[in-house]
Chains A and B, each alone.
Chain A
Amino acid sequence: MRAFSYSRPRTPEAAVAAFTDAGAGARYIAGGTTLFDLMKLNVEQPNHLVDVSELHGTDLIETSGDVLRFGAGARMADIADDETIKREYPLLAESLWRAASQQLRNMASVGGNLLQRTRCPYFRNGAGGVYPCNKRDPGTGCAAIDGLDRGQAVLGTSDACTAVSPGDWPVALTALDADIVVLGPQGNRTIPIADFYLLPQDTPDREFSLEPGELVIEIRVPKTAAGRASTYHKVRDRESYAFALAAAAVALRIEGGQVRQAHIALGGVATKPWRSREAEAALRGRAPTRENALAAGRAALAGAKAGRHNGFKIHLAANTIADAISIAAERSAS
């Protein structure tokens, strides 16, 4: 870890200005649960930190209008515990409380959460020339593709990178078509979440469509009747405090025993939060039976590509979607 300078502005505008003044080596810091780790591992070496954890008004949790509004500075733990969210949008609450640990959720912001970096060990633990990594050091190659790739992605991969997009919350937001509101040197803009994350292709170092200095200020989720019959189902190597091997965010509107509307997104198996229109199409107009749920799961993984040790994720993810559909359907009934 290297010495750095630090500022703590009080308004979003001042934060953007502080970032711009500091130049290319600046980073925003919120809860620090991603950034400090990466600084200690020398993956990130900022020379200036703009602390955005005390910006006025960014810890908003607003559930009364047509859209759910979450300030970028709201804590994971606070949204996970919000009674309305738990009742009306269980997939959002579950995607948060099934992530990390209580201590981390108490610190971490939902804005910083969107920007967490991959857990690929070759990326995280390989700075200083230990492992090549196209994401960390563009053009050096990928150690994971021919290596221990049990945890790597099977969807959205490229020849340059197979690293998994690790977050749970972004998957739930992807299922619900969230918008990300950002403030930059040029002013405000709104980015649909589908455009917020980039596929690795030839430039795995570019993960987000944010421009330098752009500050996430709010996350907006359009309200939907499918919210109640929803779940974030996460399968991992231990029962808590682990990232997903496979996870499914599912929200359904079921009428007359048939699925009218389906929102399905996948985590733990793809290089970005993965919306599966294929699974949604496979389920729409059908009863949420085990068989149909499994067919939807398989449809989501039809284009998956296995590496050396991660082929099981294809089968696992399909079953995880199916299990999630069953849980969501049960919630529709009650």
Chain B
Amino acid sequence: MTLSSNPDRPRVDARQKVLGEALFAADQRVDNLLHAMTVPASIAKGQIRTIDAAAALEVPGVVRVMTFDDFADIQTTPASRGAYGQPGKGYQPMTGPDIVHRGEPVALVLAETLEAAIEGAESVSVEYDEAVEFTALMEQDGAEEASEVFTRLGHGDAEGAFAGAAHKVDVTYWHPQQHHNPIELISTTALFSEGKLRIFEGTQWSSALAGGLAGMIGLEPQSVRASSPYVGGGFGQKNGIQEQSALVVRAATIMGRPVKLVMPRGQLFHTASYRPRSLHHVRLAADTDGKLAAGLYRTEQQNSRYDGYNPLFGETPPRMYGYPNWAGEDRVIRVDTQTPGHQRAPHEHPSSYATECALDELAHELGMDPVELRLANDTDTDPITGKPYSSRHLAECLRRGARMIDWGRRRQEPGTLRAENGHRIGLGVACGNYKASMSPAIATLRLQANGVCRISLSGHEMGQGLRSVIAAELIEVLGVDPAKLDIRIGDTGLAPQMLTAGSWGTASVAPAARAAALKLRANLVELIGRDDFEGPAHVQLAKTRRPMLKVEIDTVPLGEGPQAIDNLRRGLPVTTGPEYADFMAFSWIAHFAEVHVEPSTGRVRTRRFASVIDCGRVMNRRTTESQVKGGVVWAIGATLREIGETDPRYGRVLNNDLAEYLVPVNADIDWIDVDVIDEPDTRLNLSGVKGAGEVAMVGAAAAIANAVFNATGKRIRHLPIRIEDLL
């Protein structure tokens, strides 16, 4: 079958979600449940001297207060929070008296009701040994520059080319700490049923949760089943085992009862992952025609003392344009904080912010239109490896986006375009890229003669619309009715579950669903002896008097072997890309922003946005556009609103709630216009899919910051850009 373009379709689970029928992990009804609440450490570093639980135990309903004595035998492994797969890294709180970051759990209160658990937790009093000095921010004394240098990418003689170039910029950009704040809080529910440990947790990787916890607790991996029925926003914060996961499981073992913990948002600012602050030094050079001569890019990322979260800022920017010379390196600075981690467009958002703003500075220095500068440096080969790109329609994205935003009205001279009300208008452009990766997947597909169709598959629904992607392939190949479709994902009891992150969900799951559907169709064709039928496959099946057909399929991404399926089953990371044997693969996007700045107050509004995405074949126009709009909204927040403010004297995030951690509200968002290239990338996979969720945000912040410069003439080299910067 040839690939068809997918029409606009509602999400298959839209109705359930709107009615509140979709049950998330913490919504599961569990009998005989104990509620747990954590007591957060009130110091940033040091040691617990005593824990007095007497008052807590007097709160009616409290049944037990657990401390590090109860958890001392939990092992820290490469699966633990903060290890990122690296042996010797990571940290599991409550396995001893040491405190390594502010807010880590120091006691766990178990009670018959949530209210009692909360009151109990507030009644525990913890005393610590004398204060130990700590460092909260990478700019402070005591911050430790790690000896390792990461992603040292380069080719040619960047220093030499930079020194000799006619036009150059040498600038430093700063990116703040940010927090994902998905609406669904992080929770763990653990119970034993039929001799198996059952865990419900909103996670993007249930196999690693099951396998990793088994390892930490000392259980057989087969005896643990993890379910993540829906994720109420993951954005990378739910990639792995959380600080509380093993504690809740162990508590359930000790108590012989189901235990549930939903960590309050105020605590999540200190226990869950977040985007770390980072510093970006960018040097770019070009000749007088605007041909890029060199790029030099050095970054520093703030990490905890113990984590394995590698800084990979340098991976994508050299792939944006045809840099003949490039040098990049990334370093980490370690301080006494909790582990940072992936947050939507993890390194690509900050790195594109810095490098695409620097490119705008270069365009200004050259006196060249920034769209022209980007087009002049378009390339179809990766400068670093010399391999061609599997597909790249970036120039078309730029041309279309420029038309959509009416780029022709932009003035090169900043501060010259005014609205009728006197507000300054600025237009800005920036581009983004994100690696096209894939994961192996396992699918079991069953079609009944009455039209009911069930598929069990690897992958997690995080609201990005993965179920709708699976549905699209089954509708196209088998003509199934979405109302009769039962899609089961996110549960290790049904299929091994891949990490669903890094924009590879659709590119992994769509080909698996398609391959399963094609195999089932082939079986059917064999059965009925003809392949020229039209309409739903089950109608043909019914004629054979067979009640159902069932197929199982493993899909292995390009360049991988059977080992990949093995690793998938074991909950190990298995992803490909962006480098493949014959090519490099990326998704691409061009963003255009129009901002209006009020002269008397410096208030910025993003009046219009135009974004054109090249993500391969579009599996669902509606959810793809939603992804891009969501990415743009994230970028508006990241550029103009969001910052986790740490007071270095306390090492604590000061604005640790949703009233004070400012994300955009409806009134902040105006017109966001999205277009898609929708060209299948069939060199990559059967479905022709690259990925949309991450690239959607890449470059969008720079488009806004560049528009602010165009409106005001001010280069603000930090985020967020706030009133005081423009007043």
CB distance from B185 to the nearest CB of A (A): 14
CA distance A146 to B649 in the complex (A): 10
Task: Say whether A121 faces chain B, with CB atoms less than 8 Å apart.
Answer: yes
**15 intermolecular pairs with C-beta atoms under 8 Å apart:** A1-B115, A2-B119, A121-B655, A122-B654, A130-B650, A146-B649, A150-B724, A237-B662, A237-B723, A238-B662, A239-B668, A240-B665, A240-B666, A316-B727, A319-B601
CB proximity to B under 8 Å, residues A213-261: 235, 237-242, 245
CB proximity to B under 8 Å, residues A6-54: 42
Flag if A319 contacts B600 (CB, 8 Å): yes
Identity of the chain B residue whose Cβ is nearest the Cβ of A127 in the assembled complex: B122
| In the complex, per-residue mask of A85-129: 1 if CB is within 8 Å of any chain B CB, else 0 | 000000000000000000000000000000000010110010011
Task: Say whether B380 faces chain A, with CB atoms less than 8 Å apart.
Answer: no
Flag if A235 contacts B665 (CB, 8 Å): no
| In the complex, per-residue mask of B116-136: 1 if CB is within 8 Å of any chain A CB, else 0 | 001100100000000000000
CA distance A2 to B118 in the complex (A): 9
Task: Say whether B652 faces chain A, with CB atoms less than 8 Å apart.
Answer: yes
For the complex of A and B, 3 pairs with smallest distance between CB atoms: A312-B724, A240-B667, A239-B667
CB distance from A241 to the nearest CB of B (A): 5
Flag if A148 contacts B654 (CB, 8 Å): yes
B650 touches which of A128, A131, A241 (Cβ 8 Å): A131
Counting chain B residues whose Cβ lies within 8 A of the other chain, the interface size class is: 20 to 34
User: When A237-B641, A312-B727 are in contact, do A147 and B649 touch as well, CB less than 8 Å?
Assistant: yes
Identity of the chain A residue whose Cβ is nearest the Cβ of B102 in the assembled complex: A130
Q: Which residues of A contact B722 (CB under 8 A)?
A: 237
Flag if B723 contacts A129 (CB, 8 Å): no
Task: Say whether A323 faces chain B, with CB atoms less than 8 Å apart.
Answer: yes
CA distance A322 to B598 in the complex (A): 13
CA distance A128 to B124 in the complex (A): 11
User: When A125-B266, A128-B42, A148-B647 are in contact, do A1 and B727 touch as well, CB less than 8 Å?
Assistant: no
Task: Say whether A320 faces chain B, with CB atoms less than 8 Å apart.
Answer: yes
CB distance from A298 to the nearest CB of B (A): 13
User: When A2-B119, A125-B654, A130-B650 are in contact, do A239 and B665 touch as well, CB less than 8 Å?
Assistant: yes
Identity of the chain A residue whose Cβ is nearest the Cβ of B724 in the assembled complex: A312
Task: Say whether B664 faces chain A, with CB atoms less than 8 Å apart.
Answer: yes
Counting chain A residues whose Cβ lies within 8 A of the other chain, the interface size class is: 20 to 34
CA distance A119 to B650 in the complex (A): 19
| In the complex, per-residue mask of B16-45: 1 if CB is within 8 Å of any chain A CB, else 0 | 000000000000000000000000001000
Identity of the chain A residue whose Cβ is nearest the Cβ of B726 in the assembled complex: A312
| In the complex, per-residue mask of B624-657: 1 if CB is within 8 Å of any chain A CB, else 0 | 0000000000000000010001010110101111
Task: Say whether A143 faces chain B, with CB atoms less than 8 Å apart.
Answer: yes
A322 touches which of B266, B600, B603, B667 (Cβ 8 Å): B600
CA distance A261 to B657 in the complex (A): 42
Identity of the chain B residue whose Cβ is nearest the Cβ of A294 in the assembled complex: B600
B662 touches which of A119, A121, A129, A242 (Cβ 8 Å): A242
Task: Say whether B250 faces chain A, with CB atoms less than 8 Å apart.
Answer: no
Flag if B666 contacts A235 (CB, 8 Å): no
Q: Which residues of B contact A322 (CB under 8 A)?
A: 600
Identity of the chain A residue whose Cβ is nearest the Cβ of B654 in the assembled complex: A121
CA distance A148 to B667 in the complex (A): 27
Flag if B723 contacts A312 (CB, 8 Å): yes
Q: Which residues of B contact A125 (CB under 8 A)?
A: 266, 654, 656-657
| Chief secondary structure at chain A's binding surface | loop
Flag if A316 contacts B641 (CB, 8 Å): no
CA distance A119 to B657 in the complex (A): 12
Task: Say whether A315 faces chain B, with CB atoms less than 8 Å apart.
Answer: yes
Identity of the chain A residue whose Cβ is nearest the Cβ of B658 in the assembled complex: A241
Q: Which residues of B contact A119 (CB under 8 A)?
A: 659-660
| In the complex, per-residue mask of B387-399: 1 if CB is within 8 Å of any chain A CB, else 0 | 0000000000000
CA distance A3 to B118 in the complex (A): 11
Task: Say whether B605 faces chain A, with CB atoms less than 8 Å apart.
Answer: yes
CA distance A281 to B597 in the complex (A): 31
CA distance A323 to B598 in the complex (A): 11
User: When A235-B601, A315-B727 are in contact, do A1 and B662 touch as well, CB less than 8 Å?
Assistant: no
| In the complex, per-residue mask of A140-174: 1 if CB is within 8 Å of any chain B CB, else 0 | 00010011101000000000000000000000000
User: When A312-B724, A323-B601 are in contact, do A238 and B650 touch as well, CB less than 8 Å?
Assistant: no
Identity of the chain B residue whose Cβ is nearest the Cβ of A318 in the assembled complex: B600
Q: Which residues of B contact A245 (CB under 8 A)?
A: 723
| In the complex, per-residue mask of B701-727: 1 if CB is within 8 Å of any chain A CB, else 0 | 000000000000000000000111001
Identity of the chain B residue whose Cβ is nearest the Cβ of A233 in the assembled complex: B601
CB distance from A135 to the nearest CB of B (A): 16
Identity of the chain A residue whose Cβ is nearest the Cβ of B649 in the assembled complex: A147
CB distance from B506 to the nearest CB of A (A): 32
Identity of the chain A residue whose Cβ is nearest the Cβ of B660 in the assembled complex: A121
Q: Which residues of A contact B645 (CB under 8 A)?
A: 148
| In the complex, per-residue mask of A58-96: 1 if CB is within 8 Å of any chain B CB, else 0 | 000000000000000000000000000000000000000
CB distance from B114 to the nearest CB of A (A): 11
Flag if A1 contacts B723 (CB, 8 Å): no
CA distance A17 to B722 in the complex (A): 49
Identity of the chain A residue whose Cβ is nearest the Cβ of B636 in the assembled complex: A238
Q: Which residues of A contact B662 (CB under 8 A)?
A: 237-238, 242
Flag if B42 contacts A1 (CB, 8 Å): no
A1 touches which of B122, B266, B603, B660 (Cβ 8 Å): B122
CA distance A148 to B650 in the complex (A): 11
A130 touches which of B42, B664, B723, B724 (Cβ 8 Å): B42
CA distance A242 to B266 in the complex (A): 18
CA distance A241 to B118 in the complex (A): 28
Q: Which residues of A contact B667 (CB under 8 A)?
A: 238-241
CB distance from A325 to the nearest CB of B (A): 11
CB distance from A23 to the nearest CB of B (A): 21
CA distance A235 to B647 in the complex (A): 25
CA distance A242 to B642 in the complex (A): 13
User: When A1-B122, A128-B42, A312-B723 are in contact, do A323 and B600 touch as well, CB less than 8 Å?
Assistant: yes
